[in-house]
Amino acid sequence: MDAKNGNFILNNGVEIPCIGLGTWQTDGDTTCNAIKCALESGYRLIDTAAAYGNEASVGRALRECGMKREDIFITSKLRNACHGYQATLEAFEGTLRKLGTDYLDLYLIHWPNPLQYRTIWKQATTGTWKAFEKLYKDGRIRAIGVSNFMPHHIEMLKETAEILPMVNQLKLCPGIIQREAVEYSKKENIVVEAYSPFGTGSIFEVEEMKKLSQKYGKSVGQICLKWSLQMGFIPLPKSSNPKRIQENLDIFDFELLDEDIKLIASLENVCGEAPDPDQTTF
């Protein structure tokens, strides 16, 4: 498996690259240059969201990179303020305009239970998913999925859904393994993506990770990303540093021992905590 040819297969048969570039908290030239560097280095999956405020910068990178649109897997996510059937359809068109494309490879519901819909979240999220299904059936999106969804959120969708989610994007990093959500997703044949694979960044100062870095002759970041893959997650590392972008791709020439995979998973509290999607304040 490598970044150019290694793929996960979604439950509708669509192939998704096994590692992607995250773009949270970047915009403008920083985002554009990072994406172009990533694509030149071999990445083919770019992850953004309406809430990131950088879809236009991602679109600029797509225009300037010189690659065919169909060779790049683009993911975006629905803004929390736009749940419900009609609002979702309108938000999707806005995302396409900013990205400068006429389709998405993957579209996700960013959060299942936003604050402003808290008392009607089931109704709002059901309407949103119906809009996702329409866009998928119309060929506007190649795959549809969710982010930060726990089992009870997906069970609620299943009550009325015609199409099950193909992806669940979760915060997954050393010490944060969200076992229940991951096991449920895999049981339902939903591919799991790992956002914030380095956690808060404090992972780079953890002694156990430094020792593993020395043991394998790889950086702490590379150890984290390899761990994600061996756990069955698609990691979405974020960096604007060309050297780090390239380094994060150089993870296909070694394997972590089972004992070290378990050690990394057990490092509780080194990367904060997983968010509770039913208690978000946004």
Q: Which are the catalytic amino acids?
A: 52
Burial 66-80 (b: 16+ CB within 10 A, else e): eeeeeebbbbbbbbb
Q: Pick from 203, 171, 202, 132: which is nearest to 275 by CA? A: 171
What whole-number distance in Å separates Cα of residue 147 and Cα of residue 192?
9
- Of 182, 107, 186, 143, the closest CA to residue 12 belongs to 143
* Other CB atoms within 10 Å distance of the CB of residue 97: 12
Q: Give yes or no for a contact between 181 and 172, defined as CB atoms under 8 angstroms apart.
A: no
What are the φ/ψ torsions at residue 68 (nearest 5 degrees)? Answer: -70, 140
Alpha-carbon distances of 190 from 10, 143, 172, rounded to whole Å: 7, 11, 15
Whole-number Å distance between alpha carbons of 136 and 142: 6
Q: 43 with 247: CB under 8 angstroms?
A: no
Looking at the DSSP bridge assignments, the partners of residue 272 are 270
Burial 99-115 (b: 16+ CB within 10 A, else e): bebebbbbbbbbbbbbe
Judge contact between 7 and 17, C-beta under 8 A: yes
Q: Which residues contact 67 (CB under 8 A, 6 or more apart)?
A: 39
Residue with tokens 């959120």: 153
Euclidean distance between CA atoms 82 and 89, whole angstroms: 9
